[in-house]
Structure 1
Amino acid sequence: MSTEKSDSNAGGHRKDSEFSDISRTEVENSRLTQDTAIDEAQRKRLEASARLENPLAGYTPNQLAQRGEDFCKQHGITGEEDVRAFRLGAMIAGNMNKYDTVEGLTDREKEVLDREITHKWSNPTMLYAVIIICSLCAAVQGMDETVVNGAQIFYKVQFGIGDENSQRDSWLVGLVNAAPYICSAFFGCWCTEPLNKRFGRRGTVFLSCLVSAAACFWQAFTNTWWHMFIARFALGFGIGPKSATTPILAAECSPPKLRGALVMQWQMWTAFGILLGYVADLAFYEVPDHGIDGLNWRLMMGSALIPAVIVVALVYFTPESPRWYLTKDRYGEAYKSILQLRYEKVQAARDLFYMDALLQVEKEAMQINQSKFKELFTIRRNRNAAIASEIVMFMQQFCGVNAIAYYSTQIFIDSDFGEKAALAASLGFGAVNFLFAIPAFYTIDTFGRRKLLLTTFPLMAIFLFYTGFSFYIPQGTARIANVALGIYLFGVVYSPGEGPVPFTYSAEAYPLYIRPFGMSLATATTWFFNAVISITWPALVQAWTNAGAFSWYAAWNIVGWVLVLLFLPETKEKTLEELDAVFDVPLHSIVRYGIAQAGYFWGHVILRRDMKAPTVPTSANTIEYAKEQFSKEKQHDPTVRV
């Protein structure tokens, strides 16, 4: 029987290449049966994908030490201490970081390597400086998103689009609010890859924040709704590349055990920026015109440039991503960069050596001769990452959070708040959104991305239903209290779950060579559906009332829970390159695991039965499963061959 080309044949006749073992010796020395139908390129890709579990397996300590020396010679690293660091670093990397079996380490080096495990937050100042820059970028993002929340109360009246009973005006208000996200989805995000390729991660951050600052300044001087639309559309050229690149920079500089907590700073400080936007709205609410029509809302819109200017001034004082340098074959600069991000040379050499070893295998695993768009969907590893990333990015919008973020002031007014009280209530939502993102520091790398989403989606659905049905309460204190409570409780469960997970997950899901393109797709998705919500919410409320609009997004949270259960692998505590083994499995294996996990939870946790937890699918155990199936078929029918 000839081999089927489909990736979905995990339980049937398998590709010969998928029977290869992950150890280096067998991968490099095994020979496939001559009559296999699979082509050589695909065979090599599958073998390389399996080796990503540990590309240094099978090497002796002496061989690893020699490889470390060869790495230095090949890339012009000549310092005696540096060569020693790469010898020892290669031995540690090849021994799965069990440094206590490696001879020649100083007491200081052993202490630092031990603290990686016992005190994972103990890292050089420069690593946290990179995260601070990323956090400031996020604050720029948050303010860009929410200063319009209060400003629109005033400018929609000044621009003649403030009639709440007019369908035309409700659509125009939504369109103006959505302008930057429309630009981001169709243009801004797709600038990410060429900007990253040409200017690096830091350069892209610098340029995008410069554009954001200029666009915020421009918004403050607009005088018609279409002029505001154009200024806000230009803002999208800053929002798109910044939102795609900043999490990548944080992910590529962070150690594996801390990556989730550091990358999630993007969402946490976006929440802080959202809070600052509400603060600016409230602070400038009562500013008189002083001869300038709408001075208060102009100050609101212009205030968002402040954190952007700070980033522009400081970003080049931090190191570039060492992984980006590796893609440019600039190994000396990559080493200098990672030295600033780790305490000891042995740490830096180990991480750079292992990073490069994984990247070399990754190049074998991926068919880089195709267009990147085609590879995103034709290569199983990339396709699974894209599916998972698109789910969390889509659901970050359709969970309903930005309907609240952009229109909370109007929502609170509809529930019987006064204008200033509505702005204060919006500020309360911003505070809740920020404060309850803090627990994700711990949970995202311990509890995990997948479990956070599976826990919080049902709760978000409940609280949105609660908020929507609260509008059936007659006007008065009871309605005000229940609407505010529902919105705040939604913020409590959104902030540690669907808040930080999507950008963290998307930044780490893709292999390095396609990461900027994949992140462009991910951010374009989130900004497109962000625009959909921004445009449609006023019309949705007009057609369905607040109760119907909130219930619509509550239902989507139930859909999100099912999608996460079936299609989202866990990524916590693995290196960015080791994730290839997590994603390079048949999609139906991931789905089958999700169903089995739901059954295990119901049987073991709810019914308290003694059950075995399902095995997480990876390329290694998928190959072993395929070998078992092949053996069974061979016993049943000796003529079967693959």
Structure 2
Amino acid sequence: MSSVNADAKHTGDDRAKTPGQLTGAVVIVALVSAVSGMLYGYDTGIISGALLQITKDFEIAEAWKQVIAASILLGAVIGALVCSYLSEKRGRKGTLVMLAAVFVIGALWCAFSPNPVVLSLGRLVLGFAVGGATQTAPMYVAELAPPKYRGRLVLCFQIAIGVGIVIATIVGASESVPWRWSIGAAAVPAAIMLGLLLRLPESPRWLIKDGDSDKARDVLNKVRPPAYDVDGELDEMTELTRKEEAAKTRGWAGLRAAWVRPALILGCGIAIFTQLSGIEMIIYYSPTILTDNGFSESVALQVSVALGVSYLVAQLVGLSIIDKVGRRRLTLIMIPGAALSLFVLGTLFATGHSGRDSVPFIIACLVVFMLFNAGGLQLMGWLTGSETYPLAVRPAGTAAQSAALWGTNLVITLTLLTLISGIGVGPAMWLYGLFNVAAWIFVYFRMPDLTGRSLEQIERKLSEGKFRPADFAR
């Protein structure tokens, strides 16, 4: 390694360890990301309880239930891909401003829908905003946050998803709020998000790529504490951008480069397994599955609230320890608990122990699954996308990862009720338990621990072909 590179690496290492403090601007950036995450959790989670009301109002069958639930996911796939281009051309902030407006429009569209067709189209629009936000918001935070706090600030987005899910399940369980009001209420936080965004700066990394280093310096001076080495970070960003502009590895075509492929495999693999692990199956359809198996609507909705609270608690605990335990270690510890709970749950249903006497065991299995899944694998879904990809391909990489996540979610949502009708609840739970086993194997062999590494350090490791778990051992 040359002395220049060695000095740059030393500077990056020291800066990553600088204690510093969070500035107000970075906190507001994290808040905006959190609002977008809350909208994601609320807009996707509210359908769980609302679907029971919608079924009665529109007198729809099982196929329409799946279409209404899944339409937001198709929109999310489209939003993730389109916003990859927009975040590159218009900037991270500009894209998020547009998405906040779409959140407002989509929520109101759904609230005033006269039939299931219009409702599905409205949820498609809402899904565009959800998918675009999941692609853009974590990347925006990651590019503005100091390395020391990046993991926790990006995960504010993930925690906010849990908050949104909890609010959605409580609203649904009340059974007194009409579904049109419960869905349309999402327009309020979306409007708040829009107002906050208008006060925030653009990503300094994007500004450098856009040729405006002076403005990037101004942004860094606003979002870093007074004693922070702004010049050193700016120089590192500028040098990295210069190398990327001279390199052939750029945009979507750059994802095919051999040295980028490990990041793409990791990001998309984690995204797919977060969905195959069964989280959305439980969030979207647990009330439907429980009522179809003899539970009253009231009990099913109360269980849904318990699951939402479990999700949030697990995320908060995970957030508090992730930078101490490490991303990789935490994920490997938590996945087996989620898998075991699904195997036990499947056995209860398969052996006919799903009646009134087994209710406590069924609920316990669902809650245990949620705790282990939400506190482990789910934390990694958006975090890996925000910090894994090189700057020149980051929008394309995060878009591909978001599309993989939402595409998997779409397939699951469109087929789950049909799958359960075909093979039964028990075997379906076993299948998702096996997906968790596969997820553990994938994480063990493919996921390095990026805890405490700057984005530039991560990219340097990737370019050197050192992106296996052993290459990041401390």
TM-score between both structures, scaled by the size of structure 1: 0.70
TM alignment of 1:286-365, pairs within 5 A: 286-287=176-177, 296-344=178-226, 346-364=228-246
Secondary structure of residue in 1 paired with 2:260: helix
Q: Quote how far apart the aligned CAs of 1:345 are.
A: 5.7
- Which of the numbers 119, 124, 127 marks the counterpart of 1:233? 124
Aligned residues: 473
Bigger helix fraction: 2
Q: Which runs of 5+ in 1 are unaligned?
A: 1-21, 26-50, 58-91, 99-112, 162-168, 288-295, 595-614, 619-642
Q: Quote how far apart the aligned CAs of 1:473 are.
A: 4.7
CA distance in 2, matches of 1:56, 1:616: 19
Moved more, 388-397 or 194-203: 194-203
**Greater Rg, structure 1 or structure 2?**
1
Q: Please list the CA deviations of residues 500-538 of structure 1 after superposition, one character each: whole Å capped at 9, or x if unmatched.
A: 111001111111121111111010110111111111111
Check the 8 A contact 1:148/1:300 in 2, yes or no: no
TM alignment of 1:225-624, pairs within 5 A: 225-283=116-174, 285-287=175-177, 296-344=178-226, 346-364=228-246, 366-368=247-249, 372-377=251-256, 379-471=257-349, 472-584=351-463, 615-616=470-471
- Which of the numbers 29, 34, 57 marks the counterpart of 1:135? 34
Q: Quote how far apart the aligned CAs of 1:55 are.
A: 6.0
Secondary structure of residue in 2 paired with 1:320: coil
- Match in the other structure for 1:291: none
Q: Please list the CA deviations of residues 15-66 of structure 1 after superposition, one character each: whole Å capped at 9, or x if unmatched.
A: xxxxxxx1247xxxxxxxxxxxxxxxxxxxxxxxxx4xx4636xxxxxxxxx
- Which of the numbers 55, 66, 76 marks the counterpart of 1:156? 55
Q: Please list the CA deviations of residues 204-224 of structure 1 after superposition, one character each: whole Å capped at 9, or x if unmatched.
A: 111112112211111112222
Check the 8 A contact 1:362/1:577 in 2, yes or no: no
Check the 8 A contact 1:55/1:357 in 2, yes or no: no
Q: Please list the CA deviations of residues 425-480 of structure 1 after superposition, one character each: whole Å capped at 9, or x if unmatched.
A: 11111111001111222332222222222222221110111222222354544321
Q: Quote how far apart the aligned CAs of 1:171 are.
A: 2.7
Q: Quote how far apart the aligned CAs of 1:390 are.
A: 0.7
CA distance in 2, matches of 1:552, 1:475: 18
- Match in the other structure for 1:204: 95
Residues 382 and 281 of structure 1: CA distance in aligned 2, closer, same or farther (over 3 Å): same
Moved more, 254-263 or 189-198: 189-198
CA distance in 1, matches of 2:293, 2:258: 49
CA distance in 1, matches of 2:195, 2:357: 49
- Match in the other structure for 1:104: none
Q: Quote how far apart the aligned CAs of 1:363 are.
A: 4.3
Letter in 2 for 1:432: S
CA distance in 2, matches of 1:238, 1:549: 31
Secondary structure of residue in 2 paired with 1:381: coil
Residues 468 and 475 of structure 1: CA distance in aligned 2, closer, same or farther (over 3 Å): closer
The answer to whether structure 1 residue 97 and structure 2 residue 14 are counterparts is yes
CA distance in 1, matches of 2:210, 2:346: 52
TM-score between both structures, scaled by the size of structure 2: 0.94
Q: Quote how far apart the aligned CAs of 1:583 are.
A: 2.4
Letter in 2 for 1:325: L
Q: Which runs of 5+ in 2 are unaligned?
A: none
Check the 8 A contact 1:123/1:343 in 2, yes or no: yes
Letter in 2 for 1:355: M
- Match in the other structure for 1:123: 22
Q: Quote how far apart the aligned CAs of 1:336 are.
A: 1.2
Secondary structure of residue in 1 paired with 2:471: coil
Q: Quote how far apart the aligned CAs of 1:357 are.
A: 2.8
Q: Please list the CA deviations of residues 127-156 of structure 1 after superposition, one character each: whole Å capped at 9, or x if unmatched.
A: 111101110110011111011111110212
CA distance in 2, matches of 1:429, 1:316: 35
CA distance in 1, matches of 2:330, 2:293: 31
Letter in 1 for 2:14: N
Secondary structure of residue in 2 paired with 1:499: helix
Q: Please list the CA deviations of residues 543-588 of structure 1 after superposition, one character each: whole Å capped at 9, or x if unmatched.
A: 12211211111110001111111222221111112112332355xx
| RMSD (Å), alpha carbons | 2.3
